[in-house]
Structure 1
Amino acid sequence: MIFLQFADPLARARLFTNIRNSLKLGGILILQGYTPKQLEYKTGGPPHLSHMYTESLLREELVGFDMQIIREYEADLNEGSKHVGQSALLGLVAQRI
C-alpha cells in the first residue's frame, strides 16, 4: 500500500513514473483517492485541491495502463479518527500494458 495523497503534483508524477517502471507487464494497480469534492466534506484527507484525484489526471499520469475500472463515488468512511464520514472518492483498477 502506498499513500500518495500527501504528495504534491511533482512528487506524485515521479511516484506514478516509479509505479509504472516497477509494475511488471500485466500487473494490476489498485488506487483509491479523494476527489476535489472531498474539500466540501472535510472528513479526511489532505486539505489541498492539488492533492485530489480526477479521472482526467489519472488518465494523463497513467499512460501505458488499461483502465479497467475508474469511477467517482461517495461512501461513508470510518478509518480512524481523521477519516470519518461521507467522503468523495475515486477508485481505479488499471493493468500495465
Structure 2
Amino acid sequence: MNNKWDESYNIKEYRYGETPNLFFKETIDTLLTGKILLPADGEGRNGVYAATRGWSVDAFDQSQQAKEKALRLANKNSVDISYKVMNFEDIAQNYIPDSYDAIALTYVHLPEQLKAKYHRSLLPFLKIGGHIIIEGFSKEHVKHQQQNPLAGGPPHVEMMYSKQEILSIFDSLKIDLLEEIEIELAEGIGHNGKASVIRFIGQKI
C-alpha cells in the first residue's frame, strides 16, 4: 500500500474523472479487442472503459484506495476488471509472459533511476504484434506547472518524458507514433489546463 496515493485518492470524487483519457480511448478504439494490462491504473477510468469495449482487463496500482474506487466504477458500468494492489517489482510473480495484446500507461511517472527498468520490464508480457500505449507529461510541461497550479504532473522534471528517453527505452519496438504536443486537459480535479505531453504507440515485432 502506498500512503501518498491512498491519501490522494481518498476523496469522494474521482481525482482524474470517470471518463477515459482521450488518447487512450482513441487508440484502443482502433485496435482489435483482446487482453490489456494497465500498470498504475489509479481509479480505473481507463480499465473500465476498455472493459466496456470488450477488452479483458488486468490492472494494478500501489493504492488500495484506488482499487476500491476502480471496482466501484466497474460495477457502476456493469463490467468486470481484474485489479491487484502491487508494485512494478511484482509483475513477474503476477502475470504471464506473452499474454497481452496491449499495455497502456497513462500519466505513469516514475523516479528517474527506475524509469527505464520498469518500462522495459513490461515488454516480456506483450504478445508479438501487441502494442505499448503511453501518454505522459513531457519535460516541457514544467512551464505549465509554473503558470498553473492545476496543471498536474509529477514534482520533478526527471520523472517526465522526453522523446529521446522513449526511443532509448523501447528501441526494440516498431514505432507507430511518437510525438510531443501541447494539449488542453480537463481530467477531474487532477489535470486541468494546458499541458505538454508525449504520446507513444509502439508495436512488438
TM-score normalized by structure 1? 0.91
Higher relative contact order (Cα pairs below 8 Å, separated by 6+ residues) = 1
- What pairs up with 1:1-97 in 2 under 5 angstroms? 1-3=38-40, 4-5=108-109, 7-42=110-145, 43-97=151-205
Q: 4+ residue stretches of structure 1 with deviation over 2 A?
A: 1-4
Q: How many residues align?
A: 96
Computed over aligned residues only, the root mean square deviation of the Cα atoms, in angstroms, reads 1.2
Give the counterpart letter for 2:134 in structure 1: L
1:29-71 per-residue CA deviation (whole Å, 9 max, x = no partner) reads 1100111111111111102111111111001011210111000
Q: Matched residue of 1:27: which SS?
A: strand
- How far apart in 2 are the matches of 1:59 and 1:73? 16
Please give the alpha-carbon distance, in whole angstroms, between the structure 1 residues aligned to 2:157 and 2:180. 16
After TM superposition, give the deviation of residue 18 of structure 1 in Å.
1.4
1:20 Cα deviation after fit: 1.1
Q: Counterpart of 1:20 in structure 2: which amino acid?
A: L
For residues 2 and 33 of structure 1, the distance between their equivalents in structure 2, rounded to whole angstroms, comes to: 13
- Which AA in structure 2 matches 1:66? K
**Structure 2 stretches of 5 or more lacking a match?**
1-37, 41-107, 146-150
Say if 1:41 and 1:87, in contact at 8 Å, map to a contact too.
yes
Contact 1:39 1:47 in 2 (8 A): no
Gapped regions of structure 1 (runs ≥ 5): none
The structure that is helix-richer by fraction is: 2
